[in-house]
């Protein structure tokens, strides 16, 4: 028995990390071996305090739901191995694994078995014969943001699908009586990040080389300081430093949001030589690989996710593409009026009679405002600006409008007599006879009765201003929202 001061012992951190990783690997293997169950059944089991076996089945079902048919990927049951440079490969079994190493050694010029065994040594660092599917589950456990980043990349490339999904999700969300943690979390950082990346034109940096003084990089930094962009992303470029390295750092930070990274730079020019960067797409052809080759070290596994040619990234990308493409096909009638829709390039027939929706009807904020007005029980709780109220009023039917008139009359008896004398449904009558009530209705900073009611009304990409007064949520508020319901098994 060895006694140590846990808080000051330098080895305790390594022990904790090793123990935690062992637990993660064990859990991943249990999820991988769990029985496949339908997603509907998994949703029911999730709400119950089931056995460990049932929890693993639920986790697996949610993972496959998020990545359709990922368990049918040809590398799902194959073992993960690495070559002498650290690149991943998938083999069928232990016997094929040994054959793979020997053939690899011979192909690289090894003349005897001893050389093959030397090259075999780095492969032992892999967790005990982890399979492809287990490795994807392990990734989801240890790097939860990666799959979300790849989803964000796809939606950024297909922005019309991202916008329509956001619109439809918010409309569905605004019709619910309760606020759940999962929904609040998705609405907090999903579409606003994609919108900001599109406004910054991030996709232009996927090709070409860039230095800190490139006009596009300078413009990127300038836009990054914009109020809307900063609020949508949650961060801004760093302070200006000599040589403007903060510009490249900002670009790299944006690329991480979509699962990409910059390659090692190269210096160009005769005078005032500058570092030029490009997005890393092929790790085998990258300048970053040269650094590891000079050190005679294998590449770390963390770089597998940045390599577009990695079998794991390809599998995840194909599953994500399948999921969103299926959604687009199922909702093609809502997408086909958009001239930028990817369905047109895929040969989907467009109905000639289909016309764009009116601006009012395709605004998710207006739709949610109309839903709020149709449900509100207290006229004093209406804090919409006059412009938003007018747009939402157009979407209400006669019964809903009459109900609002009754509510306004209950707030002020003088208005009730006005309603009886004036049968018109125009809100202008209230403006003329009851300016004091309207002032209450549009009062900025009024306390909302229910926090969820506020969220139902704020349905645009971020929390917007009411009459130029900015309202934003702190991290503590979002944590409170997330605590309203149980955490999802697979994020």
pLDDT at 59: 94
Structure tokens at 238: 């760093």
- How confident is residue 401, by pLDDT bands cut at 50, 70 and 90? confident
| Percent of the chain predicted with pLDDT > 70 | 64
**Phi then psi dihedrals of residue 79, to 5 deg:** -80, 145
So what's the pLDDT on residue 246?
A: 95
pLDDT bucket at 433, cuts 50 / 70 / 90: very low
Q: What is the mean pLDDT of residues 70-96?
A: 87
* CA distance to 80, 96, 169, per residue, from 356 (Å): 50, 57, 20
Between 279 and 403, residue with greater pLDDT: 279
Provide the pLDDT for residue 364: 62
| Predicted local distance difference test score (pLDDT) of residue 413 | 53
Q: Count of alpha carbons within 13 Å of 311, Cβ hemisphere only?
A: 19
- To the nearest whole number, what is the mean pLDDT of the chain? 74
Q: How confident is the model at residue 386, as a pLDDT?
A: 80
CB 415 within 8 A of CB 409: yes
Residue with tokens 């001893």: 114
pLDDT score at 93 = 65
CB 45 within 8 A of CB 57: yes
> Which of 106-115, 130-139, 164-173, 445-454 is the least confident region?
445-454
Q: What is the pLDDT of residue 362?
A: 47
Rounded to an integer, the average pLDDT of 382-397 is 81
End-to-end Cα spacing for the chain: 40
Q: If you average pLDDT over residues 397-422, what whole number do you get?
A: 64
Judge whether 382 and 441 are in contact, CB under 8 Å: yes
Mean pLDDT check: name the lowest of 107-111, 208-212, 402-406.
107-111
User: Is pLDDT at 1 greater than 80 in this prediction?
Assistant: no
- pLDDT value at residue 48: 79
In tens, the pLDDT along 187-239 reads 555 788 999 999 999 999 999 999 999 999 999 999 999 999 998 898 999 99
Find, among 219, 254, 252, 225, the residue nearest to 237 by Cα: 225
Q: What is the pLDDT of residue 471?
A: 42
Q: Does residue 339 register a pLDDT over 50?
A: no
Please say if the pLDDT value at position 58 is more than 50.
yes
Q: What is the percent of the chain with per-residue pLDDT over 90, rounded to a whole number?
A: 40
The whole-number pLDDT of residue 384 equals 79
Mean pLDDT of all residues in 40-57: 89
SS (H, E, C) the chain: CCCCCCCCCCCHHHHHHHHHHHHHHHHHHHHHHCCCCCHHHHHHHHCCCCCHHHHHHHHHHHHHHHCCCHHHCCCCCCEEEECCCCCEEEECCHHHHHHHHHHHHHHCCCCCHHHHHHHHHHHHHCCCCCEHHHHHHHHHHHCHHHHHHHHHHHHHHCHHHHHHHHHHHHHHHHCCCCCCHHHHHHHHHCHHHHHHHHHCCHHHHHCCCECCCCHHHHHHHHHHCCHHHHHHHCCCCCCCCCCCHHHHHHHHHHHHCCCCCECCCEEECCCCCEEEECECCCHHHCHHHHHHHHHCCCCCHHHHHCCCCCHHHHHHHHHHHHHHHHHHHHCHHHHCCCCCCHHHHCCCCCCCCCCCCCCCCCCHHHHHHHHHHHHCCCHHHCCCCHHHHHHHHHHCCHHHHHHHHHHHHHHCHHHHHHHHHCCCCCCHHHHHHCHHHHHHHCCCCCCCCCHHHHHHHCCCCCCCCECCECCCCCHHHHHHHHCCCCCCCCC
Report pLDDT for 179. 58
Average pLDDT over residues 22-48: 91
Instruction: Round to whole Å and give the CA distance between 392 and 346.
Output: 36
- 458 pLDDT above the threshold of 90: no
Please give the pLDDT value at position 115. Answer: 41
Which range has the worst mean pLDDT, 11-20, 36-45, 173-182, 262-271? 173-182
Residue 438 pLDDT > 80: no
- pTM here is 0.64
Mean pLDDT lowest for which of 18-32, 230-244, 394-408, 413-427? 413-427
Cα–Cα dist 427/33, whole Å: 63
Which residue did the predictor score with more confidence, 446 or 42?
Answer: 42
Give residue 403's pLDDT.
Answer: 82
């Amino acid at each position: 028995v060895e006694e140590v001061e846990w808080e000051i012992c330098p080895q305790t951190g390594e022990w904790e990390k090793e123990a935690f990783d062992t637990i993660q690997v064990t859990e991943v293997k249990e999820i991988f071996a769990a029985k496949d169950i339908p997603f509907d059944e998994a949703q029911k089991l999730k709400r119950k305090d089931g056995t460990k076996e049932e929890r693993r089945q639920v986790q697996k079902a949610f993972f496959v739901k998020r990545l359709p048919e990922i368990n049918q990927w040809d590398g799902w049951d194959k073992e993960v191995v690495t070559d002498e440079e650290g690149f991943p490969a998938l083999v069928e079994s232990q016997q094929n694994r040994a054959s793979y190493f020997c053939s690899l050694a011979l192909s690289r010029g090894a003349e005897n078995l001893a050389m093959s065994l030397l090259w075999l040594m780095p492969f032992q660092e892999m967790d005990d014969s982890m399979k492809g599917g287990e490795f994807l589950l392990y990734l989801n456990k240890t790097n939860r943001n990666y799959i979300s980043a790849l989803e964000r990349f796809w939606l950024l490339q297909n922005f019309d699908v991202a916008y329509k999904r956001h619109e439809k999700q918010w409309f569905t969300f605004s019709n619910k009586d309760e606020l759940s943690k999962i929904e609040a979390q998705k609405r907090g950082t999903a579409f606003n990040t994609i919108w900001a990346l599109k406004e910054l034109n991030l996709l232009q940096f996927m090709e070409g080389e860039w230095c800190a003084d490139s006009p596009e990089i300078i413009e990127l930094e300038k836009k990054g300081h914009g109020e809307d962009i900063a609020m949508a992303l949650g961060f801004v470029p760093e302070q200006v430093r000599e040589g403007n390295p903060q510009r490249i750092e900002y670009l790299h930070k944006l690329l991480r949001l979509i699962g990409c990274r910059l390659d090692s730079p190269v210096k160009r020019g005769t005078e005032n030589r500058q570092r030029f960067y490009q997005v890393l797409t092929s790790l085998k052809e990258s300048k970053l690989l040269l650094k590891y080759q000079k050190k005679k070290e294998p590449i770390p596994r963390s770089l597998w996710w940045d390599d577009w040619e990695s079998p794991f990234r390809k599998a995840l990308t194909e599953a994500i593409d399948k999921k969103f493409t299926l959604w687009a096909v199922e909702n093609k009638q809502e997408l086909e009026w958009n001239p930028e829709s990817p369905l047109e390039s895929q040969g989907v027939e467009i109905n000639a009679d289909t016309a764009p929706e009116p601006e009012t009807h395709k605004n998710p904020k207006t739709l949610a405002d109309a839903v709020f007005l149709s449900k509100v029980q207290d006229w004093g709780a209406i804090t919409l600006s006059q412009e938003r109220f007018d747009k939402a009023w157009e979407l209400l039917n006669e019964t809903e409008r009459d109900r609002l008139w009754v509510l306004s009359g209950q707030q002020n008896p003088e208005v009730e007599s006005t309603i009886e004398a004036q049968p018109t449904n125009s809100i202008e009558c209230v403006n003329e006879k009851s300016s004091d009530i309207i002032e209450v209705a549009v009062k900025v900073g009024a306390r909302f009765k229910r926090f969820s009611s506020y969220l139902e009304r704020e349905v645009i990409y971020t929390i917007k201003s009411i009459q130029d007064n900015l309202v934003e949520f702190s991290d503590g508020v979002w944590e409170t929202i997330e605590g309203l319901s149980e955490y999802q098994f697979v994020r």
